[in-house]
Amino acid sequence: MIPLLQDKVVVLSGVGPGLGRALGEQAAVMGADLVLASRTERRLEKMAAVVREHGRRALVVPTDITDEAARERLVDAALDEYGRVDCLVNNAFGIPPMDPITTVGLDALRAANETNVFAPLRLSALFADALAASGGSVVMVNSCVVHSSQPEYSGYKLSKGALAHLASSLATELGPRGIRVNSVAPSYIYEDVNKAYFDWIASETGRTHEQVYAEKAAPTDLKRLATPDEVARATLFLASDLASAVTGQLLNVDCGEFHGG
């Protein structure tokens, strides 16, 4: 692997299974040191062990990213440990009930927006001075849900649509300070959670896992679904110096399911 992030410091919020795990490992493979933030310390320690196996440093900071004091502690911890931050990857997300948006309770929608919109906003603002000093960047992990209009995803789309507009606004606001802000939008990622979801669909509809996979892959140009590592590498490209003139963009990582226009 090309060391695109050699000796850079990457802050990663949301270190869950699938993409979060791939982002942490791929960043380490590319030469980065990590600041790992999520609520569950056990999961953070497992991710830190993987980073260290690749010869890179990992700082574990259990963080409720919806809490302002906790966000401020995360910034302080990162700078105390490394003295710099080169990229903030806002990967943490919450999904409200998968019901028509007219029936979803406002508290559930507020909770999703706290994680999906307000936390990335505040983390980006709090890390801005450090990112300006390093000529760094922010990457928002969005979703191809912003390109579709399925009723069951409407509550999720509400927050991810707001996140897309937030990233655009931040790119304009922070750009004069040398900070780039971009987004990636995966569609279905073929990882453990979706594999289990496909198994459930198969059992409910009397089909095989492979048939469900083929149905989900059919709208894509490549007739397959992206892996977590593929999405992670595209995300981290935006954090690298190869993307030094790229800002304000949303990159679909979906094997050609949706085409920008």
Q: What positions carry a catalytic annotation?
A: 156
Closest CA to 63 of 123, 134, 128, 1: 123
Are 245 and 178 within 8 A, CB to CB? no
- Distance between CA atoms of residues 125 and 75, nearest Å: 10
Question: Phi and psi at residue 38, in whole multiples of 5°?
Answer: -165, 180
Q: What is the DSSP letter of 97?
A: -
What is the rounded CA–CA span in Å between residue 55 and residue 32?
10
Token reading at 36: 């790992």
CB 215 within 8 A of CB 224: no
Q: 3-state class of 179 per DSSP?
A: coil
